[in-house]
Structure 1
């Protein structure tokens, strides 16, 4: 089964020839990404994820996580993402065991004009292939080039490094290895300044990993994935101090409804809004070791409690009406007559389509920025065997009709252009609905 995934993995590599990606959830659809560490540097969001690839005989452990390098992605608006390419790769790190394919969840932090990238991997001095260390690579820019330090951080054994710099300037390193651990960092950000402490006030039953610390209004939030049942959910604890003691507060995100075993996250504030970055196996629904990063808004209650985040496909941000609007990343979908499917199950990197079975089918996509200047036409990429009519309107069932598009019958995808009957300036929800009983598939919509 795994070998059958190779064609769409190769297709994903081909798509990397284009550096720009426009995405909702998942954010990146040109490769597998997981464990996103999101940081705001100089008014731009940078995401440092791990990079899942397919393990094959002689390359990693077949059927398990396999990661050889790291990319960094950035965005100014949380909608348009740029892949800045590989920043660290396993066989160019002096202390990492060659071809160990264990470049797991990383983090990055800025200090004194430098960018410090923390990552775990299997060291050369491990003879049985077990055990992880944490190293650092340093750069002058958030996109690199990053230069790995020759040795890992002394005294740190584990995975999932996370760095937090408190208001007083003291930096802390958090990581996991059975339990969650923390220690102060030296000002050089390369060495521990205190002995590691176990953060022991957390649940004792079930795996805990992936710590991520942040502070808000004097409350220190220690967030982490925890297997309370069968798969990981995101939980959090709070403290008046970066090192605890902590009080368990609750769940940030429930377990995956489709059984993806892992979740791993980061939480950051951007332009006065808090966001949760996390992952799921959207592009690999049958194999949960190939994940894809996601993004949704996060909110706090008046007492500082984190409101539980419900995952969405639409994600966040505005989509310009002149872009290809992937309505399959919907905000709402009719309970009858509408489903979502891969364009090509053999190559999920090509994306999804919306299938409208009959006149009961519709899909709504929120947050389309139509702008002020009047748009005059719309193009749909559609397919229908029998011929169909598709209606576009704004703001729900009673909103103004933008266009009614007649789609000729045919077995192949068609790009059909039609004039707009009306124009609504500003930002609106877009509704795409079938108006005839014949099935019709919609790939994307674009206005001009």
Structure 2
């Protein structure tokens, strides 16, 4: 065995200074309308699923991913879809999940069989499902197309609030069961004081009815949360011909709301819409939003991105610009435990699939593709690599490299037929080089005597063996 000593004793702090994450954080499919949730030292993000090739917001399911370090995200598949709700017919639009008393409530919106939009709720004992329709009917249904983009928040006194809206903003107080509400639906008045209103250039009202221009105004996508006894309501506003992210604050969860300004505006997101969530995790503050910047994307193919930010001393939110680099890692990944192949920081020329037997796995692997896993801590060294793969044909090659796609090659596995594409077998390889310390790991996909466009194999999980 060839042994080349590659000891890079970088601390995570030093590593983060020279190696960066990437936006969007999910590349295997489109992931619009991100809604983050923290549970047991792990970040979860619940998203939609734009279907490629359509010139409308065509979605039929919702997805969930999780991360312990904010850079390596695990795909947990599709816990709910339109088929989960007997009353739903189309438009699986924005949603948010929240935990209460050991159960998880996922508030969604969808077009109903009555040709309007309604808000429903699914429930589970796990943040990743399985989820089921909690009611068998919509929670909010008024015969209106304004019933979209629910956001949910539980205050310190235990009272839960559900906000939603499209041009009109509504809320209800949820009961403790989280699947019913008390009182009437309340509409929040639109005003310059609350949501920025309209820019009026001193013309008469008759002219303004035809020529008024939006300075800012509530459009959709509310996000309600609390920080230091102050309530924040972020939303998708309007600037020029695209949506911006703006916010208002209040001393009460029901208002009155005071407009504070735009958070993200005039950014090259390649998307008409924007939809965000703000959350704190491990002492840092993050803005989740979406862009249309993946290949073949755009306004109808949007993907989750993340930026870290710091509140100003007065609690206000600074202007946030989009970056390709995204956020830094909050920890390292242990290579000596089972790691799911669908846990990744970046990927190209592959996708994910799932079945009842295996769960989620990497599929549609093609020559020239790869998976990048960030900040992998090998400690004092590894001796062997193992990967669970499935292949109906042979000819695929899995290479393991460090620090870059064409970096030092640690291992290589020639994947033979395993009895079927979804029949997984664990194959092993001794390491060709000695490695220790913290590195980014690349799983590179190559082929032997096959056409470049052919599917190579499926990839379920991996681990390294420590040097004894």
Q: TM-score, normalised by structure 1?
A: 0.65
1:132-281 pair list within 5 angstroms: 132-148=117-133, 149-155=135-141, 157=144, 158-200=147-189, 201-204=194-197, 205=214, 208-281=219-292
Closer, same or farther: CA 373–312 of 1 in aligned 2, 3 Å = farther
Q: Give how far 1:191 is off.
A: 1.8
Does 2:43 align with 1:45? Answer: yes
Cα deviations by residue, 1:1-26 (Å, 9 ceiling, x for unpaired): xxxxxxxxxxxxxxxxxxxxx97311
Measure, in 2, the Cα distance between the counterparts of 1:96 and 1:309: 36
| Contact 1:94/1:151 (8 A) holds in 2 | yes
Closer, same or farther: CA 250–285 of 1 in aligned 2, 3 Å = farther
Does 2:102 align with 1:113? Answer: yes
Does 2:116 align with 1:92? Answer: no
Number of residues of Structure 1 aligned to a counterpart in Structure 2: 330
Q: Which runs of 5+ in 1 are unaligned?
A: 1-21, 56-61, 324-328, 331-341, 354-366, 383-391, 393-402, 404-416, 429-447
Measure, in 1, the Cα distance between the counterparts of 2:156 and 2:296: 42
Measure, in 2, the Cα distance between the counterparts of 1:124 and 1:266: 30
| Contact 1:231/1:256 (8 A) holds in 2 | no
Q: Give how far 1:41 is off.
A: 1.2
Closer, same or farther: CA 351–321 of 1 in aligned 2, 3 Å = farther
Cα deviations by residue, 1:45-97 (Å, 9 ceiling, x for unpaired): 11110111135xxxxxx410110111111111112211111111112311112
Measure, in 1, the Cα distance between the counterparts of 2:77 and 2:296: 25
| 1:381 match: secondary structure | coil
The structure, 1 or 2, with the larger RCO (C-alpha pairs under 8 Å, 6+ apart) is 2
| Contact 2:175/2:182 (8 A) holds in 1 | yes
Measure, in 2, the Cα distance between the counterparts of 1:244 and 1:224: 15
Q: Give how far 1:283 is off.
A: 1.3
| 2:83 match: secondary structure | helix
| 1:35 match: secondary structure | coil
Q: Give how far 1:254 is off.
A: 1.7
Closer, same or farther: CA 215–141 of 1 in aligned 2, 3 Å = same
Measure, in 1, the Cα distance between the counterparts of 2:124 and 2:244: 33
Measure, in 2, the Cα distance between the counterparts of 1:80 and 1:43: 14
Measure, in 2, the Cα distance between the counterparts of 1:343 and 1:147: 33
**2:70 alignment partner in structure 1:** 78
- Return the structure number with greater strand share: 2
The Cα RMSD (Å) is 3.6
Q: Give how far 1:373 is off.
A: 4.6
Closer, same or farther: CA 322–350 of 1 in aligned 2, 3 Å = farther
| Contact 1:29/1:351 (8 A) holds in 2 | no
Closer, same or farther: CA 241–36 of 1 in aligned 2, 3 Å = same
**2:391 alignment partner in structure 1:** none
Q: TM-score, normalised by structure 2?
A: 0.63
**2:328 alignment partner in structure 1:** 317
